[in-house]
Structure 1
Amino acid sequence: MKKFVLILSLILLIGVLTACGNKEEASSTGEKNENQLSEEKLMIGVTAGPHEQVVEKVKEVAAKDGLEIELKVFNDYVMPNTALEEGELDMNSYQHKPFMDQFNKDKSTHLAAVGKTILNPMAIYSNEYKSLEDIPKGAKVGLPNDPTNGTRSLYLFEEAGLIKIKEDKRETATILDLAENPKEIEFIELEAAQIPKQLTELDAAAINTNFAIDAGLSPKQDGIFLEPIESPYVNWLVVREENKNDPAVKKVLKAFHTDEVKAFIEEEFKGSILPGWE
């Protein structure tokens, strides 16, 4: 009886070890797990406007490689991330990394940026002056009043040589965190969407691309200073953390980072939107 129990125990042990070995083998050979993204069909979330237009072109390019992409269009900046976290989307394309990082922190989400897409360059505009040098001492300059875009605009003013930000305040800089302001500029915080309408009452202002375009302004043609392509506010393709190394991600980025998509961006937006991966 004891011998029988011993033999049975050995058989069970061998079975367990074999099962573990099979799991490790499946993992090492890259066999698809239940959470891995499909390499044949994907749902990508975008915001209406430039992101939607660009990903429509990516969809066209990806189809040549056997990948079907379906778009889901949103009109706000919260739902595309919520839908991705909850599994309603496979990935989204609409946000820069500082926004995603703050969203993860605030919402306890698990999102990862996997590849650069486009830059919607913020620019400085003025109805009165044609260059930064012409902006007078004591000028009234507008900027967005929300934290993300407010800090972004201060980086833009610094890049333009108008101010310097305190080094220990860079990540969360506000108009109270300036180390140097040689022109003694009076910064006026306003709702981002309202700044184009109030530009006539200001000497200059930093305006987000979407609001500038809505107001008939071209960042490249009308801006007196354009955000550089090296900006940390370039947009990214975003997935759930568990999917950041999936083959499907590489397939989408391969389609995105093509000369065909680049040419479309340059032709369609005339410098108001820039390819962000170069």
Structure 2
Amino acid sequence: MKKLTALLLALMLLVPAFAFADEAEYATITIGATPSPHVEILEAIEPQLEAVGIKLNIITYTDYIQPNDALVAGDLDANFFQHKPYMDDYNLGHGSNLVALIPVHYEPLGIYPGKTATIEELPEGGSIAVPNDTTNEARALLLLEENGIITLREGAGINATKLDIVDNPKNIEIQEVEAAQIPRVLPDVDLAVINGNYAVQAGLNVMTDALVKEESDSLAAETYVNYVVVNDGNYDADLFAKLQQVLTSDETKAWMNEKYAGAVVPFEPTTDEATDEAADTATDETASTDEAAAATEEPADEATES
């Protein structure tokens, strides 16, 4: 009996050691993300990542400020919630050097009915809620312009604000609301422009509930791709190359298409982008070949000099 007890104790002591050894085989990426769809996407790819030796430590945030602050502070290895214009605006305001590393998907903005059922029925002096942050407000105003509700100053583009509205034939009141709160004010406004992720969280589907949405070939779709963002020069390139392979894999894209049914659209590079990427790869391979050739020639040169 004493021998059996001693054996069991020995095995119990070994279990943590084996568990530690298994964990040591994995590299960990601590990544901050907003709940839907970002955390959901990250959780969905965990099995693929574990197959290539990576575990995720996912920190969930419910706003757009803390994930960047935490990344700058070094509390995160990366974050996943934002598009490049938003990141650029944050860098400008905080003197930071965040980098949009991995393009993953875009979330079409949609115009959703509130008190008014259609755009055509929008009354004189009606109200439309739009996101109040700089980049998403511009995006919302562009969508309103595309659908004949307002006209913006020529050239305003992705920097548009309410001050750039040059024609507002129905004298629509543009109400600036914190993006996450817009679904809650739907009963109080005629129409609302809602970010894709917040629409999903509110149980809305951009394909079936929105009156109109940003199209996949629009400037907005190209501009407002959501990225995995890192601190420049403060990340493991090999590790994040594996993360990119998984996030942009056919398996992941198929999962997103099935899960979100058009509310979240996997990023597909344009022909020009794909060509540029191939050219960059070819350049890297050429550089590697040249370096190898130079390394081979060096001993011969040294022998000649001797």
Specify if TM > 0.5. yes
Say yes or no: does 1:247 pair with 2:238: yes
Cα separation, 1, equivalents of 2:264 and 2:229: 19
Cα separation, 2, equivalents of 1:73 and 1:144: 21
Single out whichever of 49-58 and 168-177 deviates more from structure 2: 168-177
Pick one of 141, 154, 163 that aligns with 1:167. Answer: 154
User: Cα deviations across residues 145-169 of structure 1 (Å, max 9, x unaligned)?
Assistant: 3333322211221233433321354
Give the direction of change, closer, same or farther, for the CA distance of 1:193–1:72 in structure 2 (3 Å limit): closer
2:149 counterpart SS class: coil
Give the direction of change, closer, same or farther, for the CA distance of 1:127–1:107 in structure 2 (3 Å limit): closer
Q: Is the 8 A contact 2:128 2:192 kept in 1?
A: yes
1:165-204 map, 5 Å: 165-204=152-191
Gaps of 5+ in 2: 1-25, 270-306
Gaps of 5+ in 1: 1-38
Give the direction of change, closer, same or farther, for the CA distance of 1:99–1:182 in structure 2 (3 Å limit): same
Q: Is the 8 A contact 2:114 2:188 kept in 1?
A: no
Q: Is the 8 A contact 1:132 1:225 kept in 2?
A: no
Pick one of 182, 190, 207 that aligns with 2:194. Answer: 207
Taking structure 2 as the reference length, what is the TM-score of the superposition? 0.69
User: Cα deviations across residues 187-219 of structure 1 (Å, max 9, x unaligned)?
Assistant: 233343443333234332212234333433222
Cα separation, 1, equivalents of 2:134 and 2:158: 10
> 1:244, CA displacement in angstroms?
7.1
Return the letter of the residue paired with 1:238: V
Cα separation, 2, equivalents of 1:103 and 1:277: 25
2:140 counterpart SS class: helix
Say yes or no: does 1:263 pair with 2:228: no
Single out whichever of 222-231 and 156-165 deviates more from structure 2: 156-165
User: Cα deviations across residues 229-277 of structure 1 (Å, max 9, x unaligned)?
Assistant: 3242221111111157822222111110011111221222222222134
Return the letter of the residue paired with 1:145: N
Pick one of 20, 34, 42 that aligns with 1:47. Answer: 34
Identity %: 36
- The equivalent of 2:96 in structure 1 is 109
Q: Is the 8 A contact 1:54 1:265 kept in 2?
A: yes
Q: Is the 8 A contact 2:72 2:96 kept in 1?
A: yes
- The equivalent of 1:74 in structure 2 is 61
CA RMSD in angstroms, aligned pairs only? 2.7
Give the direction of change, closer, same or farther, for the CA distance of 1:259–1:171 in structure 2 (3 Å limit): closer
- The equivalent of 2:204 in structure 1 is 217
Give the direction of change, closer, same or farther, for the CA distance of 1:195–1:56 in structure 2 (3 Å limit): closer
Cα separation, 2, equivalents of 1:199 and 1:74: 24
Q: Is the 8 A contact 2:135 2:158 kept in 1?
A: no
Cα separation, 2, equivalents of 1:185 and 1:79: 33
Taking structure 1 as the reference length, what is the TM-score of the superposition? 0.75
Give the direction of change, closer, same or farther, for the CA distance of 1:67–1:212 in structure 2 (3 Å limit): closer
Q: Is the 8 A contact 2:130 2:179 kept in 1?
A: yes
Q: Is the 8 A contact 2:139 2:158 kept in 1?
A: no
Paired residue total: 241
1:116-135 map, 5 Å: 116-127=103-114, 131-135=118-122
1:121 counterpart SS class: coil
> 1:183, CA displacement in angstroms?
4.6
> Larger RCO: Structure 1 or Structure 2 (Cα < 8 Å, ≥ 6 residues apart)?
1
- The equivalent of 2:80 in structure 1 is 93
Give the direction of change, closer, same or farther, for the CA distance of 1:258–1:185 in structure 2 (3 Å limit): same
